[in-house]
Chains A and B, each alone.
Chain A
Amino acid sequence: GAVVSQHPSRVICKSGTSVKIECRSLDFQATTMFWYRQFPKQSLMLMATSNEGSKATYEQGVEKDKFLINHASLTLSTLTVTSAHPEDSSFYICSASFQNTEAFFGQGTRLTVV
């Protein structure tokens, strides 16, 4: 099946620094990718829809200046958490759909801001 690779799987950063998370579709072209955030014991909440070659669409309440999304190619979308703070510590996971069927997810990134 289609594979989506997310990197890094874990990252610890200092408060005030920025962190970039990559999401790659390895064997298919993804014009649209999705970024979700998940707090412990909670559900996945959509943060934004990443569109290749255009601006991302952010969900209500998500700060677009804090969570920068770039979808420069059909196989790569990046999420940058800028000026990270401890409350940004969470599990971030991307997904991409292939031929409008199931959504394939990356492995997820556990971000800890200290």
Chain B
Amino acid sequence: AQKITQTQPGMFVQEKEAVTLDCTYDTSDQSYGLFWYKQPSSGEMIFLIYQGSYDEQNATEGRYSLNFQKARKSANLVISASQLGDSAMYFCAMRAKGGKLIFGQGTELSVKP
């Protein structure tokens, strides 16, 4: 069975600093996709970044980068130069068979001014 684990229920970071949100996964599939989503208090799910299992380079999207360590089955999200607007819930997810997403428990990030 596929599983996503986020072990940090809450994280604090100072504005303008970088922060790493942890995500580990478990799957027996050779081909898989990993996602990170941001969910502000409004509830919408905002796509941040995607990493395919066969991608040789770590994915980057602006201030977001994904530290993909396949052997360790980890896909940590790094947010550089944190902004107050980054305060939100962050979910790591894996695409399972049929296209559905399996989500981790989420990490609530708070950015301090």
Contacts and interface: CB of A to CB of B under 8 A. Distances in A.
Contacts of A110: 43
Contacts, number: 54
A44 B50 contact: no
Given A43-B104, A101-B50, A102-B35, A108 B44 contact: yes
A49 B97 CA distance: 11
Contacts of B50: 101-102
Interface residues of A, number: 24
A101 B99 CA distance: 9
Given A93-B43, A95-B45, A108-B43, A103 B101 contact: yes
Interface in A72-114: 91, 93, 95, 97, 100-105, 107-108, 110
Interface of B: 35, 37, 42-45, 47, 50, 91, 95, 98-106, 108
